[in-house]
Amino acid sequence: MPQPIRIISRAAWYAAACLALGTFFVLDASAQRLPDTVRPDHYSLTLTPDLKAATFTGSEKIDVQLQKPVDSITLNAIEIKFQSVRTKLKGKTLEAVVTEDTDKQQATFNFHQQLPAGKLTLEIE
């Protein structure tokens, strides 16, 4: 069984771009830019490649800064299958419902409650 690969430093930037052209949050489909409300600060990736299938599985933690309260986060997501998306708020783990829009190549994580402005970590499998 292949061992997970821990990616750090400069390689993390490259892997982040390859893993999810979609980890850049967008205001709308036409802008394709990070909105003022959600800013990623740090990415931590663990990838397990399947060389025969030319795919990989992995987990990602994204530290984000919410500029104002939100109940959902939308990001670009091309050919990414989400198993789970969660965050912690006041010691409680919140699971997001993931809605994918294949036409826009985006995914929305709906936490079904207001997330306050400030730091937050998204945990994505």
What's the pTM? 0.70
Measured between alpha carbons, how far is 29 from 20 in angstroms, rounded to an integer? 16
Residue whose entry in the numeric block shows the structure tokens 């993390």: 12
Q: How many residues does the chain have?
A: 125
pLDDT at site 77: 86
112: left (phi over 0), alpha (psi -120 to 50) or beta: left
**3-state DSSP assignment of residue 90:** coil
pLDDT tens per residue, range 28-77: 444 455 467 888 999 999 999 999 998 899 999 999 999 999 999 988 88
Measured between alpha carbons, how far is 34 from 37 in angstroms, rounded to an integer? 8
CA angle 84, 54, 43 (to 5 degrees): 45
- Average pLDDT (99-105) is 89
Sheet holding 70-76, edge to edge: 70-76, 106-115, 97-101
pLDDT tens per residue, range 79-99: 899 999 999 999 999 999 999
Residue 25 has pLDDT above 60, yes or no: no
CATH topology for the 5-124 domain:
Immunoglobulin-like (2.60.40)
pLDDT at site 68: 95
Measured between alpha carbons, how far is 120 from 125 in angstroms, rounded to an integer? 17
